[in-house]
Each structure stands twice: as C-alpha cells, then as structure tokens.
Chains A and B, each alone.
Chain A
Amino acid sequence: MMKSFLLILPALLIMLFTGCSNTPSTPAPDGLQQTGSWVVRENEVLRMVVGNEGKGTLLFQGWQHPFHFSDAKIGMTGTKSGEIKGSVYNLETLSDFEGTYHPKPEFNKANKLTGFWAHNDKGVVLHLWIQGENLSINLEAKGATFTLVK
C-alpha cells in the first residue's frame, strides 16, 4: 500500500500543476461578470445542421440546467463536427437565462467569424464560440430563443 501511495503522489501533483490554461481567447468586455457557462454537445450540433434548434446545458451555481434553443442554424463544411461552447455573464437568477438573445458577430484578425456575443432583455450576455474548424454558426437576425427544460 505504501508503494502505491509513493507511486500515485508525484503523478497527482504533476497532473494538478501542469494542467492547461483554458482561458477563452477573447476577454470579456468591461462591466461583464462571468457567472456561468454553457455547452452544446457534438450530437446536438449535428442535429442543428439539419434543423434550426437544439439542446444544450447551462452550468450555473454548481448545477447543470438543460435548455432548448431555436432560431440558430449550424453550417458544416467538412465531415467532422465539434462542440459549441460559451460563457454566461451577468446571470444572477436562473430564470433570467430564458429569453431571446440578439447576436453580434465576433471576428478574428483574419476576419473569420469565430463566435457571437448575444444579450437578452434581462441584461444576460452570452458569449459563444465554435470548437471545430469545419463549423459555421448563424443566428437569425431576430434572435435565438433560449428556454430552460425541466
């Protein structure tokens, strides 16, 4: 048992201290407080390729909340999909997450669309970015609607 302990100890410490930095590439605008995050898994992204709605998961105050959204279309240029991830800002009360989000596209230096900033009428802001080179996302001008699911 002592041998196992001595074997595990350095490995654990190295895993702990050499873990990666996963800071989003774009810093949050001033005045925005990140309060949660959300993700749309790859299988749901594939559903969005053929439809304009899908399901995701909001992580807020240590709890996973499934949600449904509509009026968001995904385009796929290759055979490999990916996830859509995002941060949530200024969310204080869970119910404020619901609503219609009006998008503002975000471009990188090469003028390639990398994601969106979107806000609803309760002041909640979503930042979403695309994890996968073969994906493009299009939020309809009227806004994408997010609804929490039981």
Chain B
Amino acid sequence: MSGILKHSVLAACLFILMNSSVMAQEKEAGDGGQGDLAAAATNPVSNLIQFRLQDLYTSSNYNVDGYSNTSFVQTVVPLSGLADEFDSLKGIVTRTTIGYVSTPDFDGIGRQNGLGDTSILAFAVPKAAPEKTVWGVGPALTLPTAGDNEYTGSGYYQAGPAAVFMVSPTKSIQWGALVFHQEDIGNTGRDNRVDDVSTTFIQPIFNYHFDEGWYVGLPDTPQAYDHEENQWTYNIGGVLGRVTKVGGRPMQIFGGVYYNPEEPDDAPAPEWSVKFQVGWLFPQ
C-alpha cells in the first residue's frame, strides 16, 4: 500500500508541475474558448474529435462479492468529408467505445478479466433543427470483441436504431436525451452465450456550465432496460467536470458517482460506482 501511495503522490506532484507551467504560459493572454469547448465536449454529437480514457469502478455489486472495474477507450470522430456529400447534413459523428472488463468474484471461478464488446454509435446530424437544438439519428452497433470470454461479452452481434436531441436554451444549460436499442442479429458461434439480447438504453442529458470550463451534469452512462429479463439497470448520480489545458492541449476531465437502486433477483448487477475520465480534445 505504501508503494501505491508513493506513486500517487509522485503522479500528483507531476500534475501540479504541469499545471503550474501551463498557467504561467496562459496568463500572458486570455483564452475565452474554454467554456465553449466544454459545451462541445458535453454535446454527444459535437463535430469535435475526442479521445477519451475512462474508468468505471464498481465498489459493490448485487448478488456477488467484490468490486468490478471496466476501463474504456472511447473515440468521437466526426466524418466531415462524408457529411459534406449531403447538403441537408450539418455533420456525421461516430462514437466508438471498447472496454477492458474485470468482473466481480464469482463463486467457484473467481475474478475474470478480458476485453469487452465494442459499441459504435453513428449519428447523422441534420441542418434543419429548431433554434438552439441539435439532433441526430443513426445506427447503433455492438461487435462481440470479447470473443469466447462469456464473462466480459455477450457473444452476439447487435444492431438497432439510435437517436439524440439536445437543446441549449442558454450558454450555460444543455438538456436532452440519447436513446438507442440493441437487438442480437447474429452470434459468434460460441456455446456459452447469454440469452438473446434485447436492450434499450436511455441517457438523459443535463449539463450546467460555469465559467472557466467547469460543469456539472447527469451521468454519461445510460439507463438500460433488458427486455429479455424485464430488468432495469440504473445509473443515478452526477458528474463534476472541467475542460482545461494541459501541456497546451485542451482536455476534458470528469469524475462521477453512480447508484443503481434496482437489485435483480439473482443476477449480478452494479450497485455503487465511480467513473473518471481523461479526454483529449482536438478542435479544428
């Protein structure tokens, strides 16, 4: 434990030094775009290239012992060249997420680790929209990149529709929702697949932006309804985040606490979780 503490302190000192250096540079001139970059970073269909590293740590799970953890790599990539082919479109934005999963301690088999499935959301964002509103529709796909690991992935190819809308009534407020559905459309052929997949994901969006890139908001993790099991998995909570510059590069950093009050009859499910993200933003 002392070794961990030592490394933590070292990491903290490095970041203090990095931030001090950045501050010294930036006091020479203003940077009024920090809040606007934060608004773009929290817009799920922004045309802002992003690379995100996230960690979701679940300290307690229902019906199983021990913590679980998933580390995510997420990219947000606007396909500007493709969108330019369609006069009616403002943009096409893809969001791809892949996770590395560490399960809780299952009876008799212990903790299992492995690559999770890959989720891809793509949105066509039309120019025609009510004032201060952005919306998009497109496909949602899941690729069974977990392969034969029955504990970290479903074993199914999944597809379904996705839709998002977001309203920015003022510079400070964003609200809306992101919804998508996943239905299994094929499998990897492995024997130990879960039951058929039919899940709807609903992510309410609410963010309040303060000065200097600070914001608070609802979790960026959706509520999920499993139609096969008639089971909700909630992520109730909030996040505190900021867009700031580190080493001259704008970054989005946030932390959040999530709670799922819905305990399944016998299946494992997360109860309390915390999520952290470090994301790099690549404005035009």
Which residue numbers of A lie inside 8 Å of B, CB to CB?
A: 1-16, 18-26, 33-39, 41, 57, 59-64, 66, 85-87, 93, 127, 129-131, 150
Contact = CB atoms under 8 A, between A and B. Distances in A.
A9 B33 CA distance: 27
Contacts of A7: 4, 7-8, 11
B26 interface: yes
Interface stretch (B156-164, B191-199, B241-249): B241-249
A59 B37 contact: yes
A20 B42 contact: no
A37 B33 contact: yes
A87 B20 CA distance: 25
Contacts of B14: 11
Interface string B33-55: 11111011011001110000001
A10 B14 CA distance: 11
Interface residues of B, number: 65
B134 interface: yes
Nearest to A60: B36
A75 B67 CA distance: 60
Interface stretch (B138-146, B166-174, B221-229, B261-269): B166-174
A93 B242 contact: no
Contacts of B134: 61-63
B32 A86 contact: yes
A131 B29 contact: yes
B208 to A, nearest CB: 14
A41 B282 CA distance: 12
Given A11-B8, A62-B43, A66-B284, A129 B29 contact: yes
With most chain B CB atoms within 10 A of its CB, the pick from A15, A41, A150 is A15
